[in-house]
Amino acid sequence: MKNTSSLNIESKCIHSGVGKYEFGSVVPPIYQTSTFEFDSAQHGADLFAGNQKGYIYTRMTNPTVEAMETCIAELEGGHKALGCASGMAAVHLVFAAMLNAGDHVVCSQIVYGPTTTLLATIMNKFGVETTFVDTSELDAIKKAIKPNTKMVYVETPANPTLAITDLEGAAKIAHDAGAKLVVDNTFLSPVLQKPFEFGADVILHSMTKFLNGHADVVAGIVVVKDEEAYKHFKKVHNQVGGVIDPFNSFLVHRGIKTLSLRMQKHCESAMIVAEHLEKHPLIEWVKYPGLKSHPQYELAKKQQRGFGGIISFEVKGGYKAGEKMMNAVTLCKLAVSLGGVETLIQHPASMTHQSMGKEAREAGGISDGLVRLSVGIENVKDIIACLDNALGQNNQ
């Protein structure tokens, strides 16, 4: 594969993970196969023993998957990456590879809802304890650290409150305690945020979102910093089995070619929409890291290369008014997920974060009236017209 280390990220999006292929193909072929034929019994034995490079079985390695993994590892500035069957498969891989019974995790109070549920139920059942805190307050992280803390897990910006965690500060606290910092970088992608530059030890993404960008893939990825970590994660990954398939890897790799362009458009349009909503008479409040009213605006400018494509807001009149507004959208799609080319709108309290329970949601700042908007790459005037028209239903 090409060495793209000297390229800027816009070029890396296009060329990382791409090599020379049969017949001069300029994109990695789809190796849609479960297994690979050996030249001889000895060849097979050498592959299993690690004495030769090659492919054995797609759950273990596959050229199409490997090309996509290489691309994302290079974009994040990591060593290698492990493609997963979903974003939650990536989250589970991180916990399975890094935690043992008796370990303690400090986790952002507000993260993707199923991540909270996984820690509080499945991981708890296996003896892993979790303390959920507002990681945008570094003192809260410090106070939550215990002698058996092995991981500080943050999602920044948080889903869906858009609270920002100081990655450099969180890394120092984690490392001083002998723990690792894990960062869910889904909301920004490596185009807008590089957690390794601030001390993170492991990065993960739901590739379903901005990395793929076209709402036609469910996938996740974990990026690690060195070969020792990769070998450990790879062994666990093969045993747990939540791997990505070749075709979805191909789609993600194709989507990444336009990642830089898409993120630029998401950011530009989201800023315009956020400013418009902040002035709208029917909007109670707006949260977007690019607004000076955001409590971590300065921190976002420091550790991010852009403010992202996600906005949270509340319609005056609370849940019922928000429900009426969401039922009236036309261009915007009323659907969960985010990061696609189309604008998506949803209600976290009844949808993505319903499993957390009302008390936990409210403690983390997810009100019943909070609406999450993933701004797509349509003409921003059309997005605003759709929102204004839907909001106007509350005056009828």
Q: What is the pLDDT of residues 136-192, one digit of tens each?
A: 999 999 999 999 999 999 999 998 899 999 999 999 999 999 999 999 999 999 999
- How confident is residue 358, by pLDDT bands cut at 50, 70 and 90? confident
Share of the chain above pLDDT 90, in %: 85
Domains of the chain plus CATH, in order, are: 63-253 (3.40.640.10), 259-395 (3.90.1150.10)
**Spatial distance between the Cα atoms of 215 and 85, rounded to a whole number of angstroms:** 15
Task: State the alpha helices, DSSP H only, in 40-123.
Answer: 41-49, 63-76, 87-98, 113-117
**Spatial distance between the Cα atoms of 182 and 200, rounded to a whole number of angstroms:** 6
**Spatial distance between the Cα atoms of 65 and 243, rounded to a whole number of angstroms:** 9
Active-site residue identified among 112, 153, 230, 288: 112
What is the reported pLDDT for 229? 98
Whether pLDDT at 356 is above 70:
no
Active-site residue identified among 184, 230, 288, 361: 184
The tens digit of pLDDT for each residue in 377-393 reads 999 999 999 999 999 87
103 is catalytic: no
Spell out the residues 6+ positions from residue 310 whose beta carbon is closer than 8 angstroms to its own: 157, 159, 160, 162, 187, 270, 288, 338, 372, 373, 374, 375
112 is catalytic: yes
Spell out the residues 6+ positions from residue 14 whose beta carbon is closer than 8 angstroms to its own: 257
153 is catalytic: no
How many residues in total does the chain contain?
Answer: 396
Query: Are 14 and 27 in contact, with CB atoms under 8 Å apart?
Result: no
What is the reported pLDDT for 395? 60
The tens digit of pLDDT for each residue in 87-101 reads 999 999 999 999 999
**Spatial distance between the Cα atoms of 222 and 236, rounded to a whole number of angstroms:** 12
Whether pLDDT at 22 is above 60:
yes
Instruction: Tell me which amino acid residue 160 is.
Output: P
Whether pLDDT at 333 is above 70:
yes
Tell me the average pLDDT of the chain. 94
Q: Tell me which residue has tokens 């996600």.
A: 310
Spell out the residues 6+ positions from residue 172 whose beta carbon is closer than 8 angstroms to its own: 199
**Spatial distance between the Cα atoms of 357 and 359, rounded to a whole number of angstroms:** 6
CA dihedral 329, 364, 293, 140 (to 10 degrees): -160
The tens digit of pLDDT for each residue in 246-283 reads 999 999 999 999 999 999 999 999 999 999 999 999 99
262 is catalytic: no
- How confident is residue 348, by pLDDT bands cut at 50, 70 and 90? confident
Please give the model's pTM, rounded to 2 decimal places: 0.94
Active-site residue identified among 2, 46, 57, 59: 59
What is the reported pLDDT for 394? 62
Active-site residue identified among 180, 209, 225, 361: 209
Contacts by residues 15-19 (CB-CB < 8 Å, ≥ 24 positions apart): 16/70, 16/71, 16/72, 16/74, 16/75, 16/256, 17/66, 17/67, 17/68, 17/69, 17/70, 17/71, 17/72, 17/74, 17/253, 18/67, 18/71, 19/67
